[in-house]
Chains A and B, each alone.
Chain A
Amino acid sequence: AQSVAQPEDQVNVAEGNPLTVKCTYSVSGNPYLFWYVQYPNRGLQFLLKYITGDNLVKGSYGFEAEFNKSQTSFHLKKPSALVSDSALYFCAVRADTGRRALTFGSGTRLQVQP
């Protein structure tokens, strides 16, 4: 069975500082990894995904994520945080076998302080 772990319920960072939101996964076969962001009272918005190739993936709003196969991790990063980045972030994995369900982590709330 596939699974995603987001070990931090909340991450606090000062505006202008770099941020990291952690994600590790477990899946059979090749992993397809996604990051979504949820703003209050809104649906999930797609940020970026890893399919294959370059381990550093760039996405929307200046976010990037690094795929590390040996550590089974896909941490989300941004060089300089903005107050407007404050939201709930979800990591998700999808296998290329079976029913190909998207399995989500429990979410990490990012709080950027001015």
Chain B
Amino acid sequence: EAQVTQNPRYLITVTGKKLTVTCSQNMNHEYMSWYRQDPGLGLRQIYYSMNVEVTDKGDVPEGYKVSRKEKRNFPLILESPSPNQTSLYFCASSLSNRAQETQYFGPGTRLLVL
């Protein structure tokens, strides 16, 4: 089954404790992206990657890192989480960066930073 998977689905942590949220897709997609969803704000892009070893900042990159060492994986790293990073996070992928390509989303990771 074609899908985007994320782990963990739920995470509670404390301020300053490094964490990684994994994202993997099995569709051989080139383009991958991370979004955060906050009430009343919709989804905002954090980082994106157009292919292996090619990543760039989205609209809200502060406090986040990403890497793209393999085509299928795109982990999101919070080096020193803070309470304002409490949010619902989604990973997405599409075949390419062409504007008409549909992005497919993972199930989401709900993060609480105390």
Query: Which A residues fall within an 8 A CB radius of B?
Result: 4, 30, 32, 34, 36, 42-46, 49, 51, 90, 92, 94-96, 99-102, 104-107
CB pair A43–B107 under 8 Å, yes or no, is yes
Closest-CB distance, A100 to chain B (whole angstroms): 5
For B98, the chain A residues whose CB sits under 8 A away are: 96, 100
CA distance A45 to B92 in the complex (A): 11
CA distance A45 to B100 in the complex (A): 16
User: Given A42-B107, A43-B106, A96-B99, do A101 and B42 touch, yes or no (CB 8 Å)?
Assistant: no
Cβ of B104 under 8 Å from chain A: yes
How far apart sit A43 and B106, CA to CA, in the bound complex (Å)? 6
Q: What A residues does B74 contact at CB under 8 A?
A: none
Can you report 13 residue pairs joining A to B where beta carbons are below 8 Å apart? A4-B42, A32-B100, A34-B102, A36-B105, A42-B107, A49-B100, A100-B97, A101-B58, A101-B59, A102-B43, A102-B45, A102-B103, A106-B40
Q: Least Cβ distance of A14 to chain B in Å? A: 26
Given contacts A44-B92, A101-B33, A101-B48, 20 further A-B contacts (CB under 8 A): A4-B42, A30-B99, A34-B103, A43-B90, A43-B107, A45-B105, A49-B100, A92-B43, A94-B99, A95-B99, A96-B100, A100-B98, A100-B99, A102-B33, A102-B103, A104-B35, A104-B43, A106-B40, A106-B42, A107-B42
